[in-house]
Chain A
Amino acid sequence: MRNRMMIAAVIACTSLAVLAGENMQAKIEKLVAASFKPGEGQDMSRLVQDETQKLCSATRNNPKAKDADALTAREKATIKYPADNKLMGDWKEGEKLVKGGFGMRIGTIEPDPPAKQKGGNGGNCYACHAVDAKEVAAGNLGPSLTGYGKLRGQGEDMVKYTYEKLYNAQAFVACSSMPRLGHNGILKPEQIAHVTAYLLSPESPVNK
């Protein structure tokens, strides 16, 4: 009896918490709608959250195990591969993408200049990772990738994992801080293959 009451109480509490969570989500959506104004140069579609962004926001990046599994499975299913299916591209091209931090900035105040946009987006990896040991201006939101291929191996499994991780970080880690670079259209499949080569190739400065 006591047990049952406790269970009932727990259920009541969790559903209340869930309700409060949904309520807050709705309020945040209203807040966002009231705080960005549509107009030239403002891509409002960027404010629309997908299921993954919603869940990670509501749980502060700490979803329940069951929801985390569903999330990673869903994200894994989004992964696309280059037309020629070659997951190891040209590491030199990859190096440029790893160094580049350019792209995707919009609005009317300081949008990326159209002329420069033609060069495409960078991967912005140094914002969060140490990569080539010679580059000291490296952030630490993510783990160091220095020596990545040498340490982790360069076999087929690692190639596949690395490509997929870069394409969609959340296919492996639910609510990761790392942007879903391929899925969100920041880098194209061929470019991700170049970055994969940069991380894994024995010739790459990453592994020297």
Chain B
Amino acid sequence: MKFKAMSLSVVLALAAPVAMGEASVEEYRAMLADKDANPGFLIIDKGEIYFKEKRGPKNASLEQCDFGLGVGKLKGAYAQLPRYFKDTKRVQDLESRLVSCMMDLQGFTEAEVKAKLYGDQRLNENNTQLEAIATYVAFQSNGMKIDPPLKHAGEKETLKLGEAYFWNRHGPMDFSCATCHAEDGKRVRLQTLVNVYNKQDIQKTMSTWPTYRVSHGVARNNQHRMWDCHWQMRTPDIDYGSPATVALISFLTHQAKGGVYDLPGMKR
């Protein structure tokens, strides 16, 4: 994989997350129209190394993880997630699946895997290994159609729960996801909001996650976005890979079915 060095000015601009409006993001996009210059590629490269590294009490790599298409089959797997897994008896997205593989194959406890989920942008931290690995695995579906299966009863139920939860209002702000993401042309301050009921809009969104977030200086995955919007809703931290985040991701992914993954994305 090629990674072209970015010009210094772009790097400096990327490092300044303050009050970035939509206009300046468009400028970045123009500057970075050359896709190879997306810093997300560096994180994918790191993710590949961590993925293949022998780690944990069992000193094993993640190469034997089954993401739904069979043991060790990464190509196209993310494009067909979330899905029902027989071994865990539940619907899993990429990241909850990673957690169970790290527990089964590498012998980590759940608490160990979840001890440090995300690189902290306020401290200029790099991505965690977990984030980098997820970004790497997702990238193996680049260019493929979003095509989550909907055959198993569990998949159908999860999709239904995801949409119902999307409308669930709670917390001191009385927000649900639908407060901000169910109409065209809406903004919070200058940030445009995806309408999940607009096919084109949601395809554009889901096909570009994982994404390099310019304002964070790291790649982010779906689980982080779910946490981030809950944080804005002023709820407690929603658990990584929890049934609710998986249900939401399932709903969003099905809304975006037929879109084509264009990874890694790059956003504010």
Contacts and interface: CB of A to CB of B under 8 A. Distances in A.
B164 A24 contact: yes
Contacts of B243: 31, 34-35
A133 interface: no
Interface stretch (A82-90, A106-114, A149-157): A106-114
Interface string B163-174: 011011111111
Interface of B: 19, 21, 117-118, 120, 122, 160-161, 164-165, 167-176, 178-180, 185-191, 227, 231-232, 234-239, 242-245, 247
Contacts, number: 131
B170 A179 contact: no
A46 B188 CA distance: 23
A49 interface: yes
A106 B235 CA distance: 7
A37 interface: yes
A106 B179 CA distance: 20
A14 to B, nearest CB: 19
Interface string A165-208: 00000100000010110001110000000000000000000000
Nearest to A43: B236
Contacts of A37: 236-237, 239
17 contacts: A27-B164, A28-B168, A31-B244, A31-B247, A34-B243, A35-B238, A46-B172, A49-B169, A53-B169, A53-B170, A56-B174, A105-B231, A105-B234, A107-B231, A109-B118, A110-B231, A137-B19
Nearest to A127: B188
Nearest to B179: A177
A44 B180 CA distance: 23
A48 B172 CA distance: 10
B116 to A, nearest CB: 10
**A: contact size bracket:** 35 or more
A142 B245 CA distance: 28
Contacts of A48: 170
A49 B172 contact: no
Residue of B118, B235, B239 ringed by the most chain A CB atoms within 10 A:
B235
Contacts of B172: 46, 104, 179, 184-186
A57 B236 contact: no
A46 B236 contact: yes
Contacts of B171: 46-47
A126 interface: yes
Across the A-B interface, the 5 shortest Cβ-Cβ residue pairs: A35-B244, A35-B242, A107-B237, A42-B236, A104-B234
Contact of A104 (B120, B173, B191, B238): B173
Nearest to A169: B174
Contact of B242 (A34, A38, A139, A180): A34
Contact of A36 (B165, B174, B178, B235): B235
A60 interface: yes
B237 A32 contact: no
A35 B168 CA distance: 14
A49 B237 CA distance: 17
Contacts of A109: 117-118, 227, 231, 237
Contacts of B188: 127-128, 139, 141
A47 B235 contact: yes
A138 interface: yes
Nearest to A176: B174
Nearest to A175: B169
Given A27-B164, A60-B178, 9 more contacts: A24-B164, A35-B239, A56-B169, A57-B168, A61-B167, A104-B172, A107-B237, A128-B188, A177-B179
